[in-house]
Structure 1
Amino acid sequence: MFILNAIRQIRDLLLVKVLYRRYSIAEGFHAGLRVRIWGRDKVVIGRNFYIGRDSFIEADVVIGDNVMFGNRVAIVGRYDHHYQLPGVPIRLAPQIRDPKYNWKGVGLITIIEDDVWIGYGSTVMGGITIGEGSIIGAGSLVTKDVEPYSIYAGVPARKIRGRFDNDVDLQTHLKLVKSKYYGKL
């Protein structure tokens, strides 16, 4: 077990220091197998981030602390191809990875606040905010902002309920984690 943990730590360190060196990734990063991370201008990942195998980040993103992605989670841009150019098939149109791309989508940043769990097989569209402490149910498609401390699920994702069963538990949690939402929710 010790050897497997050491190998995992070395692999994660190589990913952060070599493959993803152009991005800002804090301590406690762990990536499963076959993970890809790419952002045109900005990828910032907070402490204790876990991203499950076969997951993709393909958009500019700011991710808070203590966030976890299940397997096969994707963050994708909304306007990755300039599909409104007359006479140009979408396949041949300029795409966001092109250095001179200047259409919609440039400057959109996806924000995932602290203490978020995104379930297996979910897709998050670029440019939205997932509020602190939220949970995204497995297989969901997130197309709009997510309220803090809420559970969202479905296609498209909708609010199912709050994360805590009562306001006392929520306020106690917010106080203990020193949340910016303490006293505001």
Structure 2
Amino acid sequence: MSLTQVLKKLRNEFLRKVKYRHYQIGKNFHSGIRVRIWGKQKIVIGENFYIGRDSFIESDAVIGDNVIMANRTAIVGRYDHHYQQIGMPIRLASQIRDHDYNWHGLNSLTVIEDDVWIGYGSVIMSGVTIKTGSIIAAGSVVTKDVESYSIYAGVPAKKVKDRFNSQQELQQHLTALKKSSKY
């Protein structure tokens, strides 16, 4: 193992066990530079997670194993600011980071299941579920739940195709995963 690889591994363990110690983060966590992770109530991240540089998690989230979030991706809240607060400009209104915040979004949990790839520059709005094996194309904005083993693209993201060309290929994939014990 090269010195660079050792330093990256040490940095990622520091982030996992020190900086983000209030959250539950599994083994083989990798974070690019300038990544920020914050959740009001909880962040749970599985094993073999990769989050690319300049990415953000700014919402309560549960993320499965073997998930890739490319560079400049984000999980953001739908209701981070109380934009209906009477007599208050949005900039000065209460926000979800405030201790006494009591508006929408407090119970909004984003779920990203196992084996998901979120492409470059994509935004995931809080409260959605991205099911196992799915791909979110670069630049997409996910506002609704995503089906298993499917590819979504666009703004707002819509299903464009299945991940595998046939049910037979999907079954072969699932069988191979079980045999390899990687899943």
Structure-1-length-normalised TM-score: 0.94
Over residues 103-160 of structure 1, what are the superposed CA-to-partner deviations in whole Å (9 max), with x where a residue is unaligned?
Answer: 1000110000000000000000000000100000000000000000000001110100
Q: Distance in 2 between matches of 1:81 and 1:106?
A: 11
2: CA distance between counterparts of 1:40 and 1:176?
A: 38
What are the within-5 Å matches in structure 2 for residues 30-179 of structure 1? 30-178=30-178
Q: Size of the alignment, in residue pairs?
A: 178
Q: CA deviation at 1:177?
A: 2.8
**Aligned equivalents of 1:70 and 1:86: distance in 2?**
39
Q: Unmatched 5+ residue regions in structure 2?
A: 179-183
Amino acid at match of 1:172: Q
Displacement over 3 Å in runs of 4+? none
Whole-Å Cα distance in 2 between the matches of residues 101 and 175 of structure 1? 47
* Offset of residue 166 of structure 1: 0.7
C-alpha displacement of 1:172:
1.8
Letter of the 1:61 counterpart: A
1:12 corresponds in structure 2 to 12
Aligned partners of 1:74, 1:85: CA distance in 2, in Å?
26
Which AA in structure 2 matches 1:93? A
Of all paired residues, the percent bearing the same amino acid is 63
Query: Following the alignment from structure 2 to structure 1, what is the Cα–Cα distance between the partners of residues 19 and 25?
Result: 12
> Residue type matched to 2:147 in 1?
E
One-letter code of the match for 2:166? N
SS of the equivalent of 1:17 reads: helix
Root-mean-square deviation over aligned CA pairs: 0.9
CA distance in structure 2 between the aligned counterparts of 1:88 and 1:96, rounded to whole angstroms: 15
Query: Separation in 1 of the partners of 2:70 and 2:63?
Result: 15
Per the alignment, residue 181 of structure 2 pairs with none
SS in 2 for 1:6: helix
Paired residue type of 1:30: H
Instruction: Report the CA distance between 1:175 and its aligned residue.
Output: 3.0
The one-letter code of the counterpart of 2:175 is: K
Residue in 2 that maps onto 1:22 = 22
The offset of 1:174, in angstroms, is 2.2
Gap regions ≥5 residues in structure 1: 179-185
Is the partner of 1:124 in helix, strand or coil? strand
